[in-house]
């Protein structure tokens, strides 16, 4: 769902910058609701098989998850059976969702950059690029920890268990914590207050 929201925001920016006069007619409440429902349906369709696949697996005597939350890969590692298919399915689904969303985001921003370069006003350039830069920072802060965590599960078998736990926690906590800060720094009032607070120190 988080990935779908980031893609929807990129589409919103595309409409706002490339088609500003038709923004309200294109992004109606009904259309936004449909985009949310598509994102929700896709999330359920791809993620629901993960716990269902776990049901068929035999589990060892140790049934304590070392993670602070119920991570699919952590549960999968507790199984005594063959987990190859489950692991491959989880990885493929993650990469299909992320790759398709990143392609749509890249397409949106490619069209935005093309439109911005055609505008003669430097103020309009700066305003459009500032809006896009904030969203690109949020995208990188969201996808990078996830991809890094997924890759360490598959290719970092030699890593100590606490490294996997720390990476999973960072993936779970860092993006939601940084999103309000990144979006807040774009607001003039927040920047002024941060500047006053840091100058006192």
Is pLDDT at 147 greater than 80 in this prediction? no
CA 48/CA 63 separation, integer angstroms: 21
CA 94/CA 100 separation, integer angstroms: 10
Q: Give the pLDDT mean for 65-73.
A: 74
Alpha-carbon dihedral sign for residues 112, 117, 118, 120: positive
What 8-state DSSP symbol labels residue 71? -
Split at pLDDT 50, 70, 90, the class of 187 is low
Structural domain total, the chain: 1
Which residues span the domain enclosing 108?
2-200
CA 72/CA 86 separation, integer angstroms: 10
The top-scoring range by mean pLDDT among 10-19, 53-62, 120-129, 188-197 is: 10-19
At 142, which CATH number? 1.20.1070.10
And the tokens for 33?
């609701």
Are the beta carbons of 112 and 11 closer than 8 angstroms? no
Determine the pLDDT at residue 109.
Answer: 86
Determine the pLDDT at residue 34.
Answer: 92
- Kindly report the pTM of this predicted structure: 0.76
How remote is the C-alpha of 75 from its chain's centroid?
A: 22
């Amino acid at each position: 769902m988080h990935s779908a929201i980031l893609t929807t925001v990129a589409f919103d920016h595309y409409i706002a910058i490339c088609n500003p006069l038709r923004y309200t007619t294109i992004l109606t409440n009904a259309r936004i609701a449909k985009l949310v429902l598509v994102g929700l349906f896709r999330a359920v369709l791809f993620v629901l098989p993960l716990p269902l696949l776990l049901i068929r697996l035999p589990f060892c005597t140790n049934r304590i998850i070392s993670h602070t939350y119920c991570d699919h890969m952590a549960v999968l590692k507790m199984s005594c059976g063959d987990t190859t298919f489950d692991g491959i399915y989880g990885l493929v689904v993650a990469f299909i969702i992320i790759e398709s969303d990143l392609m749509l985001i890249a397409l949106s921003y490619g069209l935005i950059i093309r439109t911005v370069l055609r505008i003669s006003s430097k103020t309009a350039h700066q305003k459009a690029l500032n809006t896009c830069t904030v969203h690109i920072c949020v995208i990188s802060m969201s996808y990078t920890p996830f991809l890094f965590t997924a890759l360490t599960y598959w290719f970092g078998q030699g890593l100590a268990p606490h490294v996997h736990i720390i990476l999973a926690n960072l993936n779970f906590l860092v993006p939601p914590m940084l999103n309000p800060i990144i979006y807040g720094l774009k607001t003039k009032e927040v920047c002024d207050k941060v500047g006053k607070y840091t100058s006192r120190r």
